[in-house]
Amino acid sequence: MTDEYQALLDNATWHLVPRPPGANVVTGKWIFKHKFHSDGMLASHKARWVPDVDYDETFSLVVKPAMIRVILSIAAAYAWPIHQLDVKNTFLHSHLEEIVYCQQPSGFVDQFAPDNVCLLQKSLYGLKQAPRAWYQRFSMYLRHLGFIASASDTSLFVYKDRDSIAYLLLYVDDIILTDDIILTASSSTLLRHVTDRLHAEFAMTDLGDLHHFLGISITHFANGLFLS
């Protein structure tokens, strides 16, 4: 909880302000979950400060199962490296367009301003507009890198430069607090280049070779992949 609260402060997620008269102040709660490595082993215990509902527009990053199989099949057919990346505090990277007031996190109320409320500057897990704001922020940066969003699946981004090709799948589940990026490229050099550029813009962890993703288990062999 302390790590999560500090991350919120470090990212300037809100400003403490006096509660405006008549303002709708969103309540919140602490949500806890287990975070796992790509091989299924326990990585850490996570805590998220999650506000309740206050939104106008929503957006869901749902990867089509067929698209997952297509990308994995391409990677297997051409023996491309395929990595899984985990974005830290995903929604803290995206900015809100709406004015949202939230109560101070329980257990971390400012003793000098206990009646103040948080005027959100950036998204939080639990806000229904958060996935949409994050998608806009992330897709804008990918376009800066030369990726093009797929017309058939909003979660797929494609990079092509002569013979160099990279596919990136973005998946965020605001309910189970999962935020994963699957990246495969025609060469290890291109994969490292894209990963380094993503690291420079967002706080994330490269989990290495993909082993588990949305119920699919991937086993790596010298001559390809086995999916189950």
The dihedral sign for the CA sequence 114, 105, 5, 9: negative
- 127 neighbors 100 (Cβ within 8 angstroms): yes
User: Residue 195 in 3-state DSSP?
Assistant: helix
Query: pTM for the whole thing?
Result: 0.65
Residue spans of alpha helices (H) in 30-129: 65-78
User: Which residues, at least 6 apart from 41, have a Cβ–Cβ distance to it below 8 Å?
Assistant: none
pLDDT at 117 over 70: yes
The dihedral sign for the CA sequence 15, 21, 23, 26: positive
| Span 171-222, pLDDT tens digits | 765 443 446 789 999 999 999 999 999 999 887 888 888 887 777 788 888 7
Residue 73 CB neighbour total at 10 angstroms: 12
pLDDT at 57 over 70: no
Query: Which amino acid does the sequence have at 74?
Result: I
| Span 135-175, pLDDT tens digits | 788 889 999 999 999 988 888 999 999 999 999 998 765 44
